[in-house]
C-alpha cells in the first residue's frame, strides 16, 4: 500500500513540476542597463543567458544600477548553487521569466484528482492478492 502511495505521489510531483517553465522576457536586442533595471523585479525568478553561453537561473534579491544580486544556479552544473551572487548587466545577453502554465496546471490537477477517485473506488486495491512466496 505504501508503494502505491509513493508512486502516486511521484506521479503528482512529476505532473505538477512540468507546469512551470521559462518564457522569453527580454531578448538580446532589447537588453540594456535601463531596461533591465526597470524590468527585473526583486523576489522573482529568471533565467539569464550570460556571456559565454551559460544559462543562469536566479532568484533576484535586489536590482542595483548596474547589477543584479540574488541566489543563482547554473543549468547543467550540479553543485553550482550560490547565495548572494552578483551578475552585471553587461554580462546578460537575454532574460527569460519563470511562468506557470495555467491550463496545463489545471489539466494536471484534474487528471491526478480523477485518477485518485478511480483508484480509490476500484476493486483493484481491495482484491485478495495471493502472491507466491519464495
Burial class (CB in 10 A: 0-12, 13-18, 19+), 72: buried
Q: Where does the chain hold its CATH 2.30.30.100 domain(s)?
A: 22-99
What SS3 class is residue 51? coil
Cα–Cα distances in angstroms (integers) from residue 96 to residues 114, 116, 122, in the given order: 34, 35, 44
Cell of 57: 537561473
Tell me how far the alpha carbon of residue 107 is from its chain's centroid: 17
Between 14-23, 79-88, 90-99, the lowest mean confidence (pLDDT) is in 14-23
Which residues, listed in sequence order, are joined to residue 76 by a DSSP beta bridge? none
pLDDT above 70: residue 134: no
Class of the 22-99 domain?
A: mainly beta
Greater model confidence, 100 or 40: 40
pLDDT above 80: residue 119: no
Amino acid at each position: 500500500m505504501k508503494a502505491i502511495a509513493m508512486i502516486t505521489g511521484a506521479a503528482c510531483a512529476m505532473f505538477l513540476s512540468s507546469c512551470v517553465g521559462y518564457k522569453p522576457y527580454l531578448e538580446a536586442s532589447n537588453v540594456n542597463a535601463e531596461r533591465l533595471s526597470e524590468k527585473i523585479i526583486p523576489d522573482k525568478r529568471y533565467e539569464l543567458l550570460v556571456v559565454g553561453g551559460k544559462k543562469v537561473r536566479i532568484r533576484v534579491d535586489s536590482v542595483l544600477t548596474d547589477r543584479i544580486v540574488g541566489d543563482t544556479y547554473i543549468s547543467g552544473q550540479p553543485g553550482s548553487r550560490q547565495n548572494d551572487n552578483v551578475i552585471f548587466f553587461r554580462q546578460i545577453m537575454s532574460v527569460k521569466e519563470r511562468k506557470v502554465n495555467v491550463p496545463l496546471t489545471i489539466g494536471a490537477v484534474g487528471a491526478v484528482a480523477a485518477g485518485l477517485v478511480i483508484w480509490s473506488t476500484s476493486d483493484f486495491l481491495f482484491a485478495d492478492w495471493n502472491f507466491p512466496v519464495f
